[in-house]
Structure 1
Amino acid sequence: MIGKAAGPPISITGLGAYAPDRVLTNDELSTIVDTTDEWIMERTGIRERRIAAPEQALTDLALPAAHAALDGAGVAARDIDLLLCATVTPDMMFPTSSALLADMLGAEDAAACDLLAGCTGFMYALAQAYGMIAAGLAGRALVVGGDVLSRILDWTDRSTLVLFGDGAGAVVLEKVDRPGFLGFELGADGGGGVHLSLPGSGSRHIEDATGNGYVQMNGREVFKFATRVLVSSAQAVLDRCDASVDDVDVYIPHQANVRIMDHAAQKLGIPRERMVVNVDRYGNTSSGSIPLALADAQAQDRLKEGDLVLMTGMGAGLTWGSALMEWTR
């Protein structure tokens, strides 16, 4: 599904991020599973990741990120009338984390729902928030992406344990008087869903003693999928918006693995210096990946007025999605 923005200018007016205090290094991981810092760095580019404290759930990570986004936009929680939370690790199945977060913030009567699209969830939530604002169904939206993946990992499985971390990010979307989002591209391939799954998490399979309550991943197939769709999705939204890779000032791919990210940038022809990389410090934070990278880019003063920003994600589903926007401050 490809869409070119046709409604009023809508953009991000505030953003924030939060990562837990605990840092888990590769050297520490080598005392848990059979691995080394060199092995992990060579294959993933990840040096460390953050791990939530035992008492922290998703909303505990999302709350400070949301406060920072609201502060950045200069609005109060009561001014939000739509709250979307992209996650695969909600506090619980219901009530939704979005509803709980709205209550914590004081976003009274805001429409709130969770959105699950794997690591692509934040991209789907951005597109949904944009569409609802453009249609007049919402005036101002708070979009949160975050996960506590450490709770659904098998801590004896080297293939997944080294990849993931915990974190959350949030953005405020609203109408602006300058160009903002220019287009979106979203897609899914359920036929490949078996390659990245959490089997014991729903009504199809109840968790049992075989370990089906943990993330299960066919790394080779996911790598092939990721290197393909990060390129095709990005190119599709650029084409739809009559833009080229030469126009892209800031490239923010899903922070899954440096090898995947470098491959996508090279195939697209985007210089590495235009790509935002923080996977080395956070690992793959799933729905939190792109908003955390956005917040890092802003903190490093890499987002300038008028910059063309390309965001591209992929994840379980299998899903993918891209957004192209002109940055406004």
Structure 2
Amino acid sequence: MGKAIVNGVGSYVPSTVITNNDLEKLMDTSHEWISTRTGIHERRVIGSTENTSDLAYKASLLALEDSGLTPEDIDLIVVATETPDHMFPPVATRLQTLLGCRTIGAYDVHSTCVGFISALQIAELYINTDKVNHVLVVGADALSKIVDYTERSTAILFADGAGAFVVSNIMDSKSEGIIDSTIHSDGQYYKDLYVIGDPNGSDNSKPKIKMNGNKIFKLAVNSMSTSVKGLLKKNKLHYDEIDWLIPHQANQRIIDAIARNLEFPSKKVISNIKYYGNNSAATIPLAFAVARREGKIKKGDRIVLTAFGGGLIWGSLIFQY
């Protein structure tokens, strides 16, 4: 049986920055109001000629370079996204040809902010059954396409970006690789976070994010905290044996509340929401890549990922880097 090792990491964010001061010009808000409630100071957004596949491509190139592999080495591509370039085909198929990969399997995962964990879980299963050796896992979203910049509750949160992992079958690696993961859903809260509108409609009916913020806050904190506790208990791991917790970057207050619930020291919690906002499936790989670049995350570290998104869906994953 194979061993699923995170073998390469890359991330990319667009160059255009929207600050809280910029949003003050569009709606009734202030930098202080936004930063106090969300922890966000700025966010990145794509240009008019960019698409989700462009974000995914640039992050993937860096992940491949980091892994020492070429596009020809990749056996499967799984892209987690809620904002594909088109309703179909999948972003993954566009990414496959942009990279110059072989005619391998390539598909998207539609699992909201939990998408990257879902995609990693898929990669692990493929590797553990010896179907593939190298999987390119990407989280990429361009949420600015579906943000209503007149609606303060959502416009202040969401942004664009991408992150990628190369997950490889490396039998002689000292790393434990992906140790375990879990995904859950509860559709009774379907309408508390969803997108309304017609992708092909007029400007007034374009897709827009709708969210019941207060309820989502409570559900996010409870579900992610419970998920992490359960996964650690199942694998007989104590918090002291975990080097880093990387939660979905939805809101700094949510991140802080999860750390308190888990009694996890804040110095071991990765957060970069201040500069990047919430870019859905991209938040976890982006946070990982930035933290590694800053010298925080090192080889051999044990890391817990946890996320929550519309559906409602939530889940966690443990791996050793």
Interval containing the TM-score (normalised by the shorter chain): over 0.9
Q: Is the 8 A contact 2:198 2:205 kept in 1?
A: no
Runs of 4+ in 1 over 3 A off after TM superposition: 206-212
DSSP-derived class of the 2:196 partner: coil
The aligned residue for residue 186 of structure 2 is: 189
Q: Is the 8 A contact 2:184 2:313 kept in 1?
A: yes
Matched, 1:10 2:4: yes
**Cα distance in structure 2, aligned partners of 1:151 and 1:270:** 35
The aligned residue for residue 3 of structure 1 is: none
1:200 offset after TM fit, Å? 2.7
**Cα distance in structure 1, aligned partners of 2:177 and 2:107:** 24
Where in structure 2 are the equivalents of 1:214-225 lying within 5 Å? 214-225=208-219
**Cα distance in structure 2, aligned partners of 1:201 and 1:271:** 44
Matched positions, count: 318
Unaligned runs of at least 5 residues, structure 2: none
- The CA deviation string for residues 149-194 of structure 1, in whole angstroms up to 9 with x for no partner, is 0000111100100001100000000112231111001111111111
**Cα distance in structure 2, aligned partners of 1:15 and 1:165:** 21
**Cα distance in structure 1, aligned partners of 2:266 and 2:260:** 8
**Cα distance in structure 1, aligned partners of 2:80 and 2:154:** 21
**Cα distance in structure 2, aligned partners of 1:200 and 1:113:** 24
Alignment-mate amino acid for residue 72 of structure 2: R
**Cα distance in structure 1, aligned partners of 2:46 and 2:207:** 19
The aligned residue for residue 78 of structure 1 is: 72
The aligned residue for residue 120 of structure 2 is: 126
1:79 offset after TM fit, Å? 0.5
**Cα distance in structure 2, aligned partners of 1:201 and 1:275:** 38
Matched, 1:238 2:232: yes
- The CA deviation string for residues 284-324 of structure 1, in whole angstroms up to 9 with x for no partner, is 00010000001011101112232110110111111111110
Q: Is the 8 A contact 2:45 2:160 kept in 1?
A: yes
**Cα distance in structure 2, aligned partners of 1:209 and 1:297:** 39
Matched, 1:253 2:247: yes
Q: Is the 8 A contact 1:85 1:145 kept in 2?
A: yes
- Structure 1 window deviating more from structure 2 (113-122 vs 176-185): it is 176-185
- Structure 1 window deviating more from structure 2 (44-53 vs 208-217): it is 208-217
1:96 offset after TM fit, Å? 1.0
1:212 offset after TM fit, Å? 6.5
DSSP-derived class of the 1:89 partner: coil
Alignment-mate amino acid for residue 154 of structure 1: D
The aligned residue for residue 115 of structure 1 is: 109
**Cα distance in structure 2, aligned partners of 1:321 and 1:95:** 27
Matched, 1:160 2:145: no
Q: Is the 8 A contact 2:3 2:177 kept in 1?
A: yes
Where in structure 2 are the equivalents of 1:218-297 lying within 5 Å? 218-297=212-291
- Structure 1 window deviating more from structure 2 (64-73 vs 192-201): it is 192-201
Let me know the Cα RMSD of the aligned residues: 1.4
- Structure 1 window deviating more from structure 2 (300-309 vs 77-86): it is 300-309
DSSP-derived class of the 2:113 partner: coil
Q: Is the 8 A contact 2:3 2:127 kept in 1?
A: no
- The CA deviation string for residues 221-261 of structure 1, in whole angstroms up to 9 with x for no partner, is 11111011110111111112110112111110000000000
**Cα distance in structure 1, aligned partners of 2:3 and 2:271:** 28
Q: Is the 8 A contact 1:80 1:107 kept in 2?
A: yes
**Cα distance in structure 2, aligned partners of 1:207 and 1:308:** 46
1:8 offset after TM fit, Å? 3.1
* CA pair 110-201 structure 1, distance change in 2 beyond 3 A: farther
